[in-house]
């Protein structure tokens, strides 16, 4: 489900919200701290939409298999956040790397 969650839902939500409501660009916020952002179009609003939709779908899919406890919920929140931040700071290759990152971080050892 990693590809569907990240690309089908998270990336689509980021794009729709970012285009319509994206006023605060990552580049503008992080530039004073010396952080280079490769894609000037990506916004914090779009990233928040991607994170919330990714987290919601991940939780719903998890609930289909087992009850979700505090540990699992926090883990999914952190994984979703990390993947969405990775998406915000990457270009081109993210369609390949983001589903793999999500899958790797959600697999149990």
> Domain segments of the chain: what residues?
2-106
Burial (Cβ within 10 Å: 0-12, 13-18, ≥19) of residue 46: buried
pLDDT at 48: 97
Are residues 7 and 95 in contact, defined by beta-carbon separation less than 8 angstroms? Answer: yes
- 35-90, pLDDT tens digit by residue? 888 778 899 999 999 999 999 988 888 887 788 889 989 999 999 999 999 888 88
Are residues 61 and 31 in contact, defined by beta-carbon separation less than 8 angstroms? Answer: no
Question: In the 8-state DSSP scheme, what is residue 43?
Answer: B
């Amino acid at each position: 489900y990693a590809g569907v969650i990240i690309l089908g839902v998270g990336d689509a939500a980021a794009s729709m919200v970012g285009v319509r409501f994206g006023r605060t660009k990552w580049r503008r916020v992080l530039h004073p701290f010396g952080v280079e952002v490769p894609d000037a179009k990506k916004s914090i609003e779009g990233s928040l939409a991607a994170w919330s939709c990714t987290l919601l779908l991940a939780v719903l899919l998890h609930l289909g298999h087992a009850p979700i406890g505090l540990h699992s919920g926090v883990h999914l929140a952190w994984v979703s956040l990390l993947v969405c931040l990775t998406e915000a700071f990457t270009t081109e290759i993210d369609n390949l790397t983001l589903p793999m990152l999500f899958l790797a971080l959600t697999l149990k050892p």
